[in-house]
Chains A and B, each alone.
Chain A
Amino acid sequence: MDSILAATAVRSQVSPAPARWLAVARRHAGICVAVLFLAAASVAAPSLFKAGNLANMALQFAPLGIVVVGQMLVILVRGLDLSVSSVMATSAVMATAFSGRDADLVWIVPLAIGLGAMVGATNGLLVTKRNVSPFLATLATMIVLQGARNAWTQGAPSGNVPPLLRALGAGMTAGIPNNAVALLVIAALTFVLLHLSTFGRRVYLVGGSPNAARLVGIAVDRVTITAYVMSGIFAAIAGLVLAGYVSVVDNWVGKNFELDSIVAAVMGGIALSGGKGGVGGALMGAAILVVLSNAVVIVGLPIHVQLVMKGFIIVLAAALYAAKSRRAR
């Protein structure tokens, strides 16, 4: 540790100002890249930050934000959750599976959350007890769930989203989107859990060094499984919120959210190697991704450019953080 500090001190003595700026830029690499993108976008499309579009983006922010917070928890314990999009779509389909009245929510909400928890528990158990690599375990549960959903809906779900859910997903109160309140509650809850509880400290320890965590007597498996369960539950809630936002549900609500949530998390400084990052970064990453995706449309580029852009961002951001952690070592 001392030698690292000494080395840093020497380096900053050699070239003071530029080096310090570079160090700051590196620490927030993902955000720096994104801000550059944003600056370019707002020049190219001034209407990006007009009131109408801001409200639009605010509504799109909550579903992604909720998923990213869950994804962050999983990445913190050195995992990855590809099943979130499938959980979202299935919980959205559940929202339309009843008569479309508000009273159905008594069934819909527990069922959706139960499903999310079950999928998360399956992922967690596979990863911890059977030593399956996280991406393969969650990819497989994603496929299983997708097949089950398609079989259940026979390819084309029909039915209506209860009005209360639509109000939650797409409504505004005093200029603030209702779904942002849902996101805020989840984010605050997770923040408290991560930074003010022993569970949170365990999460960072497990992610930082699973072996050390095991040696000091932490139930690593239980912490890991809890992270996956929370990610599943958050994805289920996000699916309900998104169902309310789009109000017409098909089998693919939440498509690409697995990629989006990982991109947002990486941009927000959640290290894929585990143990580094927090709720603030996750939300920042999600916000930037929403604005960027929106900018693509506003600038008038074909919508598919979004996918290309996300691909570049994830590789670029991951590379910058990897370079940073190599230098720190």
Chain B
Amino acid sequence: MSAATLNPAAAKASAKGLRRPASLQGHERLATVVVLLLTLLLVGALVSDRFRSLGNLQNVYEQSVGLALISLGQTVVILTGGIDLSVGSLISLLSVLTSGLIDGHPERITDVVAGILLLGLAVGGLNGLLTIWLGVHPLIVTLGTGAALQGLTLLYSSDSAGSVPPSFEFFAYGRVLGMPAGATLTLLVFLVVAFLLRGTRQGRYVFAVGGDPNAATLLGLPTRRVLVSVYAFSGLCAATTALYVVSRFGVGQPYTGANYTLASITPVVIGGTLLAGGKGGVMGTLLGVYLMALLNNLLNFLDISSHYQLVIQGVIVIVAVSAFTGRRARRS
């Protein structure tokens, strides 16, 4: 890392970055997602009349909540230059705990939900603390904690556990003024986080730590506190995703989160946030989430099996990542 700061090429690159307003680069990345999203909507509307119905679009909006919430936490972690590979296992653990502990009793909902949110926050914070204390790359730390969490999940229950009362379904299926409540709440959360990141000092620390951790430390920024906070936030997001999953399916399952680990990274990358940290934002991620949700929806209508959807998702990650990182490599 010290080699990178001494590297004259890197210094030149950052000087170039200074001359070029960062906002323009951000808009350029957002514009890419918007264009992709519009293209997909257009193509979808042309090839499938079921796709273009308003009811369908509302369904996609409603079903994007889980991916949106988990990608939100992942974005903030990636902005600091880290990664959280434990989210999938954490969602699995918290979802079996939610339905297992509520076990059909409506009066337990408040306590359990509060407990699950706190647990998510704590596990996430632990990831952050381990990264700092041990000096190990977050990739390895969260790979390890992810394995441990998956093991704990299976120890708690190797099959779907408990159940939730019908009122719990409001998060996933509830409507307020005809609009999906959960999805609209999620949209608002994204707007709030976007504001906090751009408009507050603490938020800008996140970008500073991701841009150059050594410089951030030298400037006296609370690097450690920022890191613990972002991982704790990611854990909190995993908890809300777990609640959404239970709300949607009515029960928690021990492998329900498995696909979320890669899935949470895809929209972040498509949304133009750099994996190296320091550049990007949550609104791009939200558009990336809508893009992935619409794409899967369209593939369903075209009768393409879920197996191929997995292939397509992987290919999109490869293309998106190599497009963005390739561009960065040329610039420097």
Contacts and interface: CB of A to CB of B under 8 A. Distances in A.
- Chain A complexes with chain B: yes
Interface string B18-41: 000000000000000000000000
Contact of A139 (B130, B135, B262, B315): B262
B152 to A, nearest CB: 6
A307 B262 contact: no
B213 interface: no
B310 interface: yes
A156 to B, nearest CB: 12
A211 B136 CA distance: 23
Given A315-B145, A322-B135, A140 B321 contact: yes
B313 interface: yes
B134 A315 contact: yes
Nearest to A136: B321
B314 A307 contact: no
B137 interface: yes
A132 B147 contact: no
Contact of A326 (B83, B135, B328): B135
Interface in B145-184: 145-152, 154-155, 158
Interface of A: 80, 126, 130-133, 135-137, 139-144, 146-148, 150-151, 155, 211, 259, 262, 266, 272, 302, 304-315, 318-319, 322-323, 326
A9 to B, nearest CB: 25
Contacts of B145: 311, 315
B314 A141 contact: yes
A139 B314 CA distance: 8
B314 A144 contact: yes
B322 interface: yes
A319 B136 contact: yes
B318 A126 contact: yes
Given A307-B151, A311-B145, A136 B310 contact: no
Contacts of B152: 304, 308
Interface of A is mostly: helix
Interface of B: 3, 83, 130, 133-137, 139-141, 143-152, 154-155, 158, 262, 265, 269, 275, 305, 307-315, 317-318, 321-322, 325-326, 328-329
Given A126-B321, A272-B137, A315-B144, 8 more contacts: A80-B139, A136-B269, A139-B265, A144-B310, A147-B314, A307-B147, A323-B134, A326-B135
B136 A308 contact: no
B143 A306 contact: no
A137 B140 CA distance: 16
Contact of A304 (B83, B133, B154, B265): B154
Contacts of A132: 318, 321-322, 325
B144 A144 contact: no
A314 B143 contact: yes
Contact of A148 (B83, B269, B311, B322): B311
Contacts of A319: 133-136
B92 to A, nearest CB: 12
B321 A304 contact: no
Contact of B151 (A135, A155, A308): A308
Given A136-B265, A136-B275, A311 B313 contact: no
B144 A304 contact: no
Contact of A322 (B134, B146, B265, B317): B134
A130 B326 contact: yes
B146 to A, nearest CB: 7
A137 B318 contact: yes
B151 A140 contact: no
A78 B227 CA distance: 24
B322 A126 contact: yes
B148 A311 contact: yes
B3 A259 contact: no
A307 B158 CA distance: 13
Top 5 nearest A-B pairs (CB, nearest first) are A311-B148, A147-B310, A307-B151, A308-B151, A311-B147
B308 A304 contact: no
Contact of B325 (A130, A143, A146, A326): A130
Contacts of A141: 314, 318
Contacts of A259: 143, 147
A131 B325 contact: yes
Contacts of B158: 304
5 contacts: A140-B315, A211-B3, A308-B148, A311-B149, A319-B136
A314 B154 contact: no
A304 B255 CA distance: 13
Nearest to B311: A147
Contacts of B147: 259, 307-308, 310-311, 314
A151 B321 CA distance: 25
Given A308-B147, A312-B144, A319-B134, A146 B322 contact: no
Nearest to A306: B151
A307 B152 CA distance: 8
A311 B308 CA distance: 31
Contacts of A146: 310
A272 to B, nearest CB: 6
B307 A147 contact: yes
Nearest to A321: B136
A248 to B, nearest CB: 21
Nearest to A142: B314
Contacts of B325: 130-133
Nearest to A262: B143
Given A132-B325, A307-B148, A307-B154, A151 B311 contact: yes
A136 B140 contact: no
Given A136-B317, A314-B147, A315-B145, A143 B262 contact: yes
